[in-house]
Structure 1
Amino acid sequence: MKISATFDSGAIEVVRLDDPTDIRLRLRKDNAADFHQWFHFRLMGAAGKPVHMVFENAGTAAYPGGWRDYRCVASYDRQNWFRIAATRFENGELIVDHTPAHDSVYYAYFEPYSHERHLDLVARVEQSPFARVRNLGSTVEGRDLDLVEVGQDAPGRVPIWIIARQHPGETMAEWFVEGLLERLLDGADPVARKVREQALLHIVPNMNPDGAVRGNLRTNAAGRNLNREWRAPDAVASPEVFLVRAEMERTDCALFLDIHGDEALPYVFFSTAEEVPGFTAEAAAAQARFVETLRAVSPDFQTEEGYKPGRFGEELLTLASKWVANHFGCVSLTLEMPFKDNAILPDAQVGWNGARSKRLGAAMLDPILRHLGDGGDPARGA
């Protein structure tokens, strides 16, 4: 048998591999920070053998609560991913039992979204007559920071910003953006057409390509958690936020969506802006309309479960959606999707996955259109 992880987003440490019934592994830390939870590796030579894999340090992961009711994902072709039912967390260890049908099998924390797929996505988008791709600058390690613009830069167009994957291990976020872009660029879709006519959308499919390629859970190559950098981004250590924030200041922002995944909660939900200083009654009403419209068009989304007030404490205005809500006075939301399954619409075979994230991304156009129909952002009187 052999385990390898020297590929895009690969991450694991092998402790012992001499016995398929007692494979010992450790979750690898982010390259420049102590966060660890993401894993992605290939096992070879175990076809037909009952494999017992123990992740010894799962109990010290960034979010140990994420292991409760979690099921590992696996794939033979890297296209179709399924959940392994025999996954459990006990005594501080994540244990996965599986009998591979083939000699080559991939295991991951969640369905990966590779940098090659990202490049394919932006290349495909650039072929659309409705979109263009701009380079905002370079990441810590020199990778391109891609910005997709959809709609015409003309007077009266409402500026909308959507960013994803500040935390690189939250791959569902870029799956979401892929689904949103596919619908948004569909010339036959009337909702997409109306959105394109009324808005100029600025979309960053992957805020953290360095961390994504490295197989990091939460940080960029310099060890910075990008979603704690928005109040005062560092041009050297967190250029990704520095560059995006500067462009947002240039273009203005009337609606902001930050797309994420949550390790512990098995729901799709928004983290809203009630706690942000200066949050007005008008902003609350506009936010409520947006949230209710998504709930109406997507049964995967719910409003009963989510983050408790006070979760972010003094960090509040270092977070993207909270800083934007405070700075621009617009509707500004963080969308969270589960790493596990969606408890209100479970799927025993795949759980929450890339395809479901894409459908949610497509559904997001409906509340965006309603928001535009309300006048762009009545919370700001525009």
Structure 2
Amino acid sequence: MKITAIEAIPYAIPYTQPLKFASGEVHTAEHVLVRVHTDEGLVGIADAPPRPFTYGETQESVIGVIEKIFAAQLVGADVFARELIHARLHRTVGNPAAKSAIDMALWDVTGQALDRPVTHLLGGYTDRMRVSHMLGFEAPQRMADEASRMRDTYGITVFKVKVGRRPVRLDIDVCRALRETLGDEAELYVDGNRGWTASEAAAALREFDELGMTLAEELCPADDVLGRRRLVQQCRVPFVADESATTPAEVTRSLLGGDATAVSIKTARTGFTHSQRVLFQCEGMGAEVVMGNQIDTQLGTVCTVAFGAAYASSSRRAGELSNFLDMSDDLLTQPLVITDGTLAVRERPGLGVAIDEDKLSRYRQDR
């Protein structure tokens, strides 16, 4: 089965409220829908979420690299020649969202061709994942109110708290308010998006210890080499590398260099193929993983839960699977439903999803 065309369709869907964090804020999902067409009529889909303030990609750059470079390299290639395809993609530096979307769309085609769900092809460990909800910058009571609403409406009891503001006390007060509101049954962990210095983060960690935080992610820049290593040594919970470890090689250097003790895996950044490599490296080195979120749409979330549920180690912790709830609309014909704090995988061939063409026409940006 050969690739005959690759589409890159820009679309934009507003969020009901902006998500704010240390490295920026997002008001609209300006993403790219990627479709891989084949000579047997099967079409694979995936979502590419550009994050210019983190990885340097924009909607325009994703479309440009797919249309001008990747399509020419891949049209005519065998869908199942995964290593050859990745070798061709690897000739171009960077562009993780564009590469990952092509990879996941090809896995979607493979699942359809074999009449098996992608999650089964990957590993098939479980049929669902627990959900973690990400809370962006707001006043303490507003963040506590949102967490309460998520718990009461969806049964979610795991929360990732965005921190990294100055003064540090702002975020400590937020975490304290969340703990007081949710009680001890809720799991809380923090993500600084590199917003603090190592010394600021160390001071925050001492207070976070009292609040029972379970993870600390990217509290300070990884290029503050000595400060970061001292911070990781002091941290009593797993210290998660996210945007500082975006490739399998960076993951290895981060773990061996003492810059982190755990890793966030994001399928929007490493697709399914390289996410497997990251996961297996972490398993071999004894590092925990958490399934992260690129402020994903429902399509992106389908990919995350398909991968996370496929393996024991990636399904052990709650995955960041709920931020599509902050979007005003979505493209899928059958919406995702969070029940009792969990999200089930799609038990249909491939990714098991379809695009609502009327909604795509409404939100696409190239017409």
Normalising by the smaller structure, the TM-score range is under 0.3
TM-score after normalising by structure 1 = 0.25
Task: With the length of structure 2 as denominator, give the TM-score of the two structures.
Answer: 0.26
Which of structures 1 and 2 has the bigger CA Rg?
1
